């Protein structure tokens, strides 16, 4: 069942519901129709690796942890993690982070909170309309009653420059703006709006504006959860417009969770990437069988990566402008590429092909960061 269909069903049934810098991106450009070039295709999605490191999104993830809104975990459809020095890929095996028992508990709690069809604030009442600042001595965010401007139905946090390669504010503290987390929930779904603003210039500049929404309910087999996020985030590494849509449906008897994902990410250089994932994961993390289709519309033309991955063993193709150009085999950790036109791939081409596959991971990591504020609410991240 498609994401939109499930979303509509939820509503109708009334269910409660940086490696390098910005100037080093390589070949970038709007969609074209050039010949197959792994280097050109990899260059057209190079900026995706910076999306999970967006300064506002990273601090929202840290803030969510401070509020107790998030839990440790990875993407619901993990493929790999980590990138080695100088752009070399370092992949690990699938480690699904689903905690189905947590989902069941959260669903029960949310259902009880909304039994009367009314919305309950996501944030403690004494947080609403308040602004928090980072205390370097305590290494925590603390309330500053002297600061105003926070949304009445949300909380505000000052936004700081970050430690190099880190997630905590750099010392000495240098505030550059603020992040508002706004509760826009209703009786059907839980929704947080994230708005980040840079105030260092002559006028306020939006760094991020997106919402994260979750709806859930019971189905015959177990639980159905639908997560959606839509909006944009931007910083010195570029702007990314996105719509993320994930559906989880548990089968308690079979002890598996069925996954359906459609993620769209558009970079300001003109590259449009869609990632679709479908399949099932064992609830204990022992088994995964997932199909990944990543469609890239960027410099050089339209490229489609179509992979089936069962417990880390992969099999698939890379198609460019409707022609199959490479066969993909091996494992996630050690992919094997075979050209369909004979001969072989050069070292540079093999490196670029690996980078293309890593685009899947970049999108999933971006989803992890964006969904962080709802992590604890649904127990799946």
pLDDT digits (tens, 9 = 90+) for 113-147: 554 455 556 777 888 899 989 888 877 788 898 99
**Residue with token string 């689903």:** 98
Instruction: Give the pLDDT mean for 154-176.
Output: 85
Asked if residues 326 and 319 have their Cβ atoms less than 8 Å apart, the reply is: no
For residues 375 and 69, the answer to whether their CB atoms sit within 8 Å is yes
DSSP code of residue 296: E
Quote the tokens at residue 309.
């991955």
- Beta-strand ranges (E) seen in the chain are 130-135, 140-143, 154-160, 175-183, 190-198, 205-218, 223-235, 238-251, 256-267, 272-282, 288-298, 301-310, 313-320, 323-330, 335-339
* Beta pairing partners, 328: 316, 337
More confident: 164 or 155: 155
- 179-203 pLDDT, tens digit per residue, is 998 988 877 778 889 999 999 977 7
Confidence of residue 95 (pLDDT cuts 50, 70, 90): very low
pLDDT of 255 strictly over 50:
yes
**pTM for the full model?**
0.80
Pick from 268, 194, 197, 270: nearest CA to 229: 194
The span from the CA of 381 to the CA of 374, in Å, is: 8
Query: What per-residue confidence (pLDDT) applies to 85?
Result: 32
State how far the Cα of 62 lies from the Cα of 369, in Å rounded to an integer. Answer: 10
The Cα–Cα gap between 381 and 377 comes to 9
Q: Look at the block and give the residue holding tokens 């289709």.
A: 293
pLDDT at 239: 92
- Window from 20-34, 183-197, 350-364 with minimum mean pLDDT: 20-34
Asked which of 4-8, 80-84, 206-210, 361-365 is least confident by mean pLDDT, the reply is: 4-8
> ∠ CA(37), CA(293), CA(340), 5° rounding?
40
Q: What one-character-per-residue DSSP string does 193-236 give?
A: EEEEEE-SSSS-EEEEEEEEEEEEEE-SSSEEEEEEEEEEEEET
pLDDT for 293: 96
Which pLDDT band, with edges at 50, 70 and 90, does 300 fall under? confident
State the pLDDT at residue 67: 61
Which tens digits make up the pLDDT trace of 41-70?
Answer: 999 998 888 888 888 888 877 776 666 554
d(CA 39, CA 49): 16
| pLDDT, position 121 | 63
Give CA–CA dist 312/331, Å, rounded: 5
- E strand residue ranges, 301-340: 301-310, 313-320, 323-330, 335-339
Q: Which of 23-37, 100-114, 244-258, 349-363 has the weakest average pLDDT?
A: 100-114
- The pLDDT, as a whole number, for residue 297 is 93
CA–CA dist 166, 58 (Å, integer): 9
User: Do 251 and 224 form a contact (C-beta atoms < 8 A)?
Assistant: no
pLDDT at 69: 53
Is pLDDT at 177 greater than 60 in this prediction? yes
């Amino acid at each position: 069942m498609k994401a939109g269909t499930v979303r509509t069903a939820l509503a109708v049934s009334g269910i409660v519901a940086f490696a390098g810098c910005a100037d080093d991106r390589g070949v970038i450009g709007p969609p074209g129709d050039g010949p197959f070039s792994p280097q050109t295709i990899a260059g057209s999605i190079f900026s995706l690796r910076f999306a999970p490191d967006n300064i506002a999104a990273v601090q929202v993830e840290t803030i969510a942890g401070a509020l107790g809104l998030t839990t440790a975990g990875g993407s619901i459809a993990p493929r790999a993690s980590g990138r080695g020095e100088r752009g070399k890929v370092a992949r690990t095996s699938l480690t699904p982070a689903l905690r189905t028992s947590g989902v069941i508990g959260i669903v029960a709690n949310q259902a009880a909170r909304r039994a009367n069809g009314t919305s309950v604030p996501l944030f403690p009442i004494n947080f609403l309309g308040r602004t928090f600042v980072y205390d370097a001595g305590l290494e925590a965010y603390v309330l500053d009653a002297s600061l105003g401007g926070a949304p009445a139905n949300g909380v505000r946090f000052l936004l700081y420059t970050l430690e190099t390669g880190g997630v905590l504010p750099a010392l000495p503290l240098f505030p550059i703006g603020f992040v508002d987390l706004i509760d826009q929930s209703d009786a059907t779904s839980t929704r947080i709006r994230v708005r980040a603003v840079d105030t260092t210039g002559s006028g306020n500049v939006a760094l991020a504006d997106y919402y994260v929404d979750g709806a859930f309910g019971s189905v015959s087999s177990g639980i159905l959860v639908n997560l959606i996020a839509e909006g944009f985030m931007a910083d010195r590494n570029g702007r990314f417009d996105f719509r993320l849509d994930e559906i989880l449906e548990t089968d308690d008897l079979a002890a598996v969770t069925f996954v359906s994902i459609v993620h769209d990410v558009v970079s300001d250089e003109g590259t449009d990437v869609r990632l679709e994932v479908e399949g099932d994961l064992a609830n204990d993390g022992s088994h995964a069988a997932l199909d990944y289709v990543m469609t890239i519309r960027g410099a050089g033309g339209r490229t489609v990566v179509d992979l089936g991955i069962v417990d880390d063993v992969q099999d698939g193709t890379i198609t460019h402008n409707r022609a199959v150009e490479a066969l993909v085999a091996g494992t996630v950790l050690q992919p094997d590429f075979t050209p369909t036109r004979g001969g072989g791939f050069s070292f540079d081409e093999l490196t670029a092909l690996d980078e293309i596959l890593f685009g899947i991971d970049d999108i999933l990591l971006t989803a992890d960061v964006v969904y962080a504020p709802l992590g604890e609410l649904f127990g799946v991240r």
